[in-house]
Structure 1
Amino acid sequence: MPSVSAHESHKGFKYESYCCNGNSETGDCQMIPTKSVRVVRGGYEVSLAPGDHRLVTRRHVFNWTQRETRRSDDGEYHLCLYPDENTPRCFYAPDMGF
């Protein structure tokens, strides 16, 4: 596996330092499955189950407005949870394309 910096996903996507604490193995930011994200009026609904993010131990539903969402330039969804699994800090989404 290639070397990954503290604020970078396994695919090379770079997280903003405000969002990311830790590293690619133990940090609070990571790519989440597309199936966990639903586009809703004005933004996104993120439904996580254990296994969707390394910090998640039970089901969670988070809502993000389009304005709060950060842009992902790798075509994937990413979520940063800090200081615990109950507190979403940053959500990254690719352009909606419309």
Structure 2
Amino acid sequence: MDGVPIFNLFRHCLSGATVTKMRGVLNATTNVILTAMEDDGKSFEAALSEAQEMGIAEADPSSDIDGWDAAVKVAVLCTVINAASSDSSTISGYELICSIDRDGI
């Protein structure tokens, strides 16, 4: 969510809206990897290595590439949007980024 004022958007501008679906890339590591794969034709491994060299991906990027970082962020968004408690174990539909190839982006 890297600096996007999403919480204020839902609390103030869209407080009466009904959200039925969310879709997007919720972390910089995933964004950098997918962009390198799509735009530069890099393999997942090469894109991850580049993201680590840039300091965007951590030495152990497992929470990003396994989808847990995104799941936690979705749980937080659901809590803010619905004004109710949610946790990452109830989130489904996220994919392991390491299982996506260039054609699947």
Please report the TM-score for the alignment, with normalisation by the length of structure 2. 0.24
Larger helix proportion, structure 1 or 2? 2
Higher-strand-fraction structure: 1
RCO greater where, 1 or 2, for CA within 8 Å and sep 6 or more? 2
- Tell me which structure has the larger Cα radius of gyration: 2
